[in-house]
Amino acid sequence: MKFTLITSGCFACFVLLSLSQSAVAIEPIKVALLVDEMASKGSGLDGQELHGLGVEGLAAVLDHLLPDTAPPAKPLPPGPPEEEIRRRIAELDHDDFQTRERATDELIAHGRAKRALIEEAAASSQAEIALRAQRILATWESRPQARLSAYLSGFWAYVEKIEDARRLELLARRTLKAFEQGMPQGDRLHLLRLCLAGVAHGHNAASCDLLRPLVQHDDPRIAILTTETVGAYKTDARFFPSLLVDALSSQQPAVVETALRFAAGCQDAERRDLVHQALRGIFERQAEPLKFQACLPLMRDFHEPAAWLYVLEQTQSQDAGRARTAYNWIGDSSGRGQTASAALVEKLSQLLRAENADLRRVAAQALGSYSDERIVTRLIPLLSDADDAVARQAGASLRAQADQELVKRLLHDATATSDGAAKKRMRDLLSQIERP
């Protein structure tokens, strides 16, 4: 809304002076209207005008929705003299509509220092003066936090599009401030979750770093909420903020467990080694079930020999659920044609000689997910295994090798020195590989 200036008296002089000193200030009524759009438009909020206000716009929104996080208010300027304010109040009941509107706008902009006079007018027996004075007071003290649920969808529609570092940093700082009151409840909890999500969604490491104290909070509910929300909304495997590394190293098992849900698939080059160290720390020092849960990213992303061996052993667990999970992880985890480390080949090869046929089979499956000559030379002897399931798995793993020419050459060599059922299996496999 554009304020109209009058051209007479010291009130006009004060208006001109105020505008010249705060040309970039956002009009309070404008902010109130933009915030109200969050409630009226919800997820359909465009937010273009609000985004155009930059950091000042975000600060104004947070002042409305989280007023307790706002910095201390600056002392109000003295404003126009009392007699000028009283004259504008009288004009609230003027016969001319434009005069009433002009007086209302000018009091909104410049009457706050004389709040007591506006409050007195709000109790006036003259209905027009009372209603307009109440409207003025409402623009100064919008309290949407009393009905936050109406703003949540629109707030997220706005916040999820914030990508610049300055606004993300402001959002992080104000969020951190909000948690000083402890674990939020009700709609405030939902609002602060959206604030955390907005920071994570912006993929700005410095802004996420500001939230690190929350992961170390004495109240585990706050630490878990932060870890879970940031993990869920970071949305890019190439971004793994330091606070999630902190969570993996937490002294609170529930926080560690939450962080482990987001550890698999980390492609953040800057923090990948830190993630690996944290996962190894969990595997080596944490009790069950955290040790078991750490195995999945250790297998998939870091090809950790000890984790592979441990999971292979869990396929023999008396706990049917754990055994089934271990089988699933072995099937889902793949070296993607990578060359296995010598330590990993050695660990898996030990199980190829296990008395238990199931262990030999899953070891063949695990080893076959990697590709090089050492793998092929260890799989070929399993074609003569006494257990048909192990032999079939060895064949499947050999067919899955990336370098089929290598497999054919080594199979031809092995066939020359084999006999009986083993030779037949090797010939059958060669026939399958060579078939167009």
Q: How many other CB atoms are there within 10 angstroms of residue 34's CB atom?
A: 21
Please write the tens of the pLDDT for every residue from 325-367: 988 888 776 555 677 888 888 888 888 888 989 889 988 988 8
Mean pLDDT of 231-248: 96
- Cα separation, 383 vs 252, in Å, equals 48
Confidence at residue 341, expressed as pLDDT on a 0 to 100 scale: 86
Any domain includes 398 = no
Q: How far is CA 65 from CA 10, 172, 187, in A?
A: 36, 15, 11
Any domain includes 297 = no
Any domain includes 53 = yes
Percent of the chain with pLDDT over 90: 58
How does 304-340 read in b/e, with b if 16+ C-beta sit within 10 Å?
bbebbbbbbebbeeeeeebeebbbebbeebebeeeeb
Confidence at residue 1, expressed as pLDDT on a 0 to 100 scale: 32
Are residues 275 and 268 in contact, defined by beta-carbon separation less than 8 angstroms? Answer: yes
Any domain includes 96 = yes
Q: Which of 16-25, 27-36, 270-279 has the highest mean pLDDT?
A: 270-279
Mean pLDDT of 179-206: 96
Any domain includes 32 = yes
Q: 423: which 2 tokens?
A: 């030779």
Any domain includes 155 = no
> What is the count of structural domains for the chain?
1
Domain that includes residue 123, residue range:
9-146
pLDDT > 60? residue 115: yes
Confidence at residue 14, expressed as pLDDT on a 0 to 100 scale: 34
Confidence at residue 131, expressed as pLDDT on a 0 to 100 scale: 93
pLDDT > 70? residue 273: yes
Mean pLDDT of 153-170: 97
Higher pLDDT, 115 or 284: 284
Q: Residue 291 carries which side chain, given as an amino acid letter?
A: K
Confidence at residue 231, expressed as pLDDT on a 0 to 100 scale: 97
Any domain includes 387 = no
Q: How far is CA 281 from CA 285, 286, 287, 298, in A?
A: 6, 7, 11, 11
Rounded to two decimals, the pTM is: 0.74
Percent of the chain with pLDDT over 70: 90
- Cα separation, 104 vs 115, in Å, equals 14
Any domain includes 50 = yes
Choice among 164-168, 184-188, 306-310, 338-342 with the minimum mean pLDDT: 338-342
Choice among 20-29, 239-248, 261-270 with the minimum mean pLDDT: 20-29
- Cα separation, 213 vs 176, in Å, equals 8
As a whole number, the mean pLDDT across the chain is 87
Radius of gyration from C-alpha coordinates of the chain: 34
